[in-house]
């Protein structure tokens, strides 16, 4: 599927926990429960959630993620920002994923590193997502063109505000992640048509209570 | 005489209070719907129309809103853009001490007008 961006091979830490094949199996096999906490690592610095592509699941993920961050001592503002990042990525996953097969799922992985928090959302896509992937690629490149994500955010707001009222597409989610979530976005599509979108947030010193 | 109406959709409630001089829309809860504009836009459009007809200031009070997704921002900024271009008086109030609100709503300063007709106020 094109466009697809391959993983950055220089980022071995990131690669080590995003592409282990488990995601693919879980995406395909699914499970009977509506919402499952699939895994917490031994150190409890990672959490993986598998969810059905139902909009109602997002609020449950928000609650689980908030609890996870709070349990690691993150203060309210940081929890809000990171939970927003997760919500926006999962919304996109549900909107543009391919869930025709009953077992297809969305997988969220959160990893708290010493200096960064990495959020990844993985879901299957098909040829109907082509335009979305092109837009995703274009938007991420566009955001990277700004030194300050605030400028990208306000420019996008200006553009969206001039659209007709009936046009509901915002296109604000990714730029909001970059600006409010202070995150660096990336994505790739695997050979098996699994889309992986990641947001890496650099931890500020005062992010914990 | 004050008139009050409450609109609720999923986790979001908009409480509209209208008196002789103003229309206040208080947002509470969370806006997390897939297409929040379907609920929000008609309420905002109606408020702006009344504001124009009767020269009332519309206040959008977000201080008790705990979360909104990016799709919710769309009808808000479209309303502000139209207010900026027209003659409507609109005030956006938000909680400056809540960082997500400060980050999101302070960016809406781009819609502020020099004559104070459209104003963005953090409290």
Q: Do A170 and B71 touch (CB under 8 A)?
A: yes
The answer to whether A161 contacts B103, with C-beta atoms less than 8 Å apart, is no
Whether A80 sits inside 8 A of B71 (CB atoms) is no
SS3 B118: strand
Determine, for residues A91 and B69 on separate chains, whether the beta-carbon distance falls below 8 Å.
yes
Distance CA B92, CA B109 (A): 10
How confident is the model over A38-75, as pLDDT tens digits?
455 545 799 999 999 999 999 999 999 999 999 999 99
pLDDT > 70? residue A207: no
Model confidence band, residue A204 (pLDDT cutoffs 50, 70, 90): confident
- Please give the CATH number for the structural domain made up of A12-126+182-202: 3.30.565.10
Does the CB of B43 have a partner CB in chain A at under 8 Å?
no
Task: Give the closest residue to A176 by CA, choosing from A83, A104, A108.
Answer: A83
- The overall average pLDDT reported for chain A is 82
Query: For residue A58, what is the nearest residue in chain B, using CA coordinates?
Result: B32
Residue A81 Cα, gap to closest chain B Cα (Å): 7
CB contact under 8 Å between B38 and A168, yes or no, is yes
How does pLDDT run across A130-152, given as a tens digit for each residue? Answer: 999 999 999 999 999 999 999 99
Instruction: Give me A28's structure tokens.
Output: 């395909």
For residue B98, the 8-state DSSP code is S
In chain B, where the domains are located: 3-122
Q: Helices (DSSP H) in B28-114: which residue ranges? A: 37-54, 70-85, 99-106
Other CB atoms within 10 Å distance of the CB of residue A138: 11
Minimal Cβ distance to A161: which of B41, B78, B103: B78
Does the pLDDT at position A3 exceed 60? no
DSSP B109: G
Q: Is B78 within 8 Å of A165 when comparing Cβ atoms?
A: yes
**What DSSP string describes chain A?**
--S-----TT-HHHHHHH-SSHHHHHHHH--SSSEEEEEE-TTSSEEEEEE-S-TTHHHHHHHHHHHHHHHTTB-HHHHHHHHHHHHHHHHHHHHHS---STT--EEEEEEE-SSEEEEEEEEE--GGGHHHHHHHHHHHHHHHT-SSHHHHHHHHHHHHHTS-TT------HHHHHHHTS-EEEEEEE-TTSEEEEEEEEEPPTT-B-
A205 confidence band (pLDDT: 50, 70, 90): low
* Residue B112 Cα, gap to closest chain A Cα (Å): 12
CB contact B4 to A (< 8 Å): no
pLDDT (0 to 100) of residue A39 = 54
- List Cα–Cα distances, A3 to A21, B68, B76, in angstroms: 21, 31, 33
| Nearest CA-CA distance, residue A175 and chain B, Å | 10
User: According to the model, what pLDDT value does residue A165 have?
Assistant: 84
Count CB atoms within 10 A of the CB of residue A69: 25
Q: Rounded to whole angstroms, what are the CA distances from B123 to A78, B34, B61, B79? A: 21, 30, 11, 21
Q: How confident is the model at residue A114 (pLDDT cuts 50, 70, 90)?
A: confident
pLDDT category of residue B100 using cuts at 50, 70 and 90: very high
CA distance A133 to B83: 34
What pLDDT is attached to residue A8?
41
The reported pLDDT for the residue numbered B2 is 78
pTM: 0.87
If one counts every other C-beta atom within 10 angstroms of the C-beta of residue A166, the result is 8
* Fold classification of B3-122 (topology level): Transcription Regulator spoIIAA (3.30.750)
> What is the band of A169 on the pLDDT scale with cuts at 50, 70, 90?
confident
What 3-state class would DSSP assign to B45? helix
Residue A42 at interface with chain B, using a CB cutoff of 8 Å: no
- What local confidence, expressed as pLDDT, does residue A41 receive? 56
Interface confidence, given as ipTM, is 0.94
Helix axes B70-85, B37-54, angle to 10 degrees: 20
For B63, other C-beta atoms within 10 Å of its C-beta total 17
Query: How far A87 CA sits from the closest chain B CA (Å)?
Result: 8
Confidence check: pLDDT of A86 > 80: yes
Instruction: Look at residue A209 in the predicted model and tell me its pLDDT.
Output: 58
B19-76 residue pLDDT tens? 999 999 999 999 999 999 999 999 999 999 999 999 999 999 999 999 999 999 999 9
pLDDT at A109 over 90: yes
Give pLDDT, residue A2.
Answer: 43
Paired with B36 in beta bridges are: none
């Amino acid at each position: 599927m094109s466009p697809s961006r391959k993983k950055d091979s220089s980022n071995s830490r990131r690669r080590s926990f995003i592409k282990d094949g488990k995601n693919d199996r879980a995406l395909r096999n699914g499970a009977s429960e509506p919402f499952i906490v699939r895994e917490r690592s031994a150190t409890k610095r990672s959490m993986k959630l598998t969810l059905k592509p139902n909009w109602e699941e997002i609020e449950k993920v928000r609650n689980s993620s908030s609890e996870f961050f709070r349990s690691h001592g993150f203060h309210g503002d940081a929890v809000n920002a990171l939970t927003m990042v997760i919500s926006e990525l999962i919304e996109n996953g549900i909107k543009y994923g391919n869930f025709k097969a009953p077992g297809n799922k969305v997988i969220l992985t959160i990893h708290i590193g010493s200096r960064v928090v990495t959020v990844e959302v993985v879901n299957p896509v098909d040829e109907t997502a082509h335009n979305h992937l092109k837009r995703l690629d274009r938007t991420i490149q566009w955001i990277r063109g700004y030194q300050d994500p605030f400028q990208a955010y306000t420019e996008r707001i200006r553009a969206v505000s001039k659209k007709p009222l009936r046009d509901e597409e915002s296109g604000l989610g990714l730029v909001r992640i970059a600006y409010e979530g202070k995150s660096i976005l990336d994505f790739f599509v695997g050979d098996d048509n699994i889309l992986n979108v990641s947001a890496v947030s650099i931890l500020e010193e005062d992010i914990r209570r | 005489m004050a008139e009050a109406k409450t609109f609720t959709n999923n986790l979001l409630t908009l409480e509209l209070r209208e008196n002789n001089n103003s229309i206040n829309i208080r947002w509470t809860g969370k806006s997390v719907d897939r297409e929040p504009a379907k609920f929000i836009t008609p309420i905002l459009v109606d408020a702006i129309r009344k504001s124009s007809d009767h020269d009332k200031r519309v206040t959008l009070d977000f201080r008790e809103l705990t979360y909104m997704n990016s799709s919710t921002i769309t009808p808000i900024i479209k309303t502000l853009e139209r207010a900026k271009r027209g003659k409507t008086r609109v005030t956006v109030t938000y909680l400056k001490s809540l960082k997500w609100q400060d980050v999101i709503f302070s960016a809406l300063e781009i819609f502020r007008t020099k004559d104070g007709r459209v104003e963005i106020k953090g409290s």
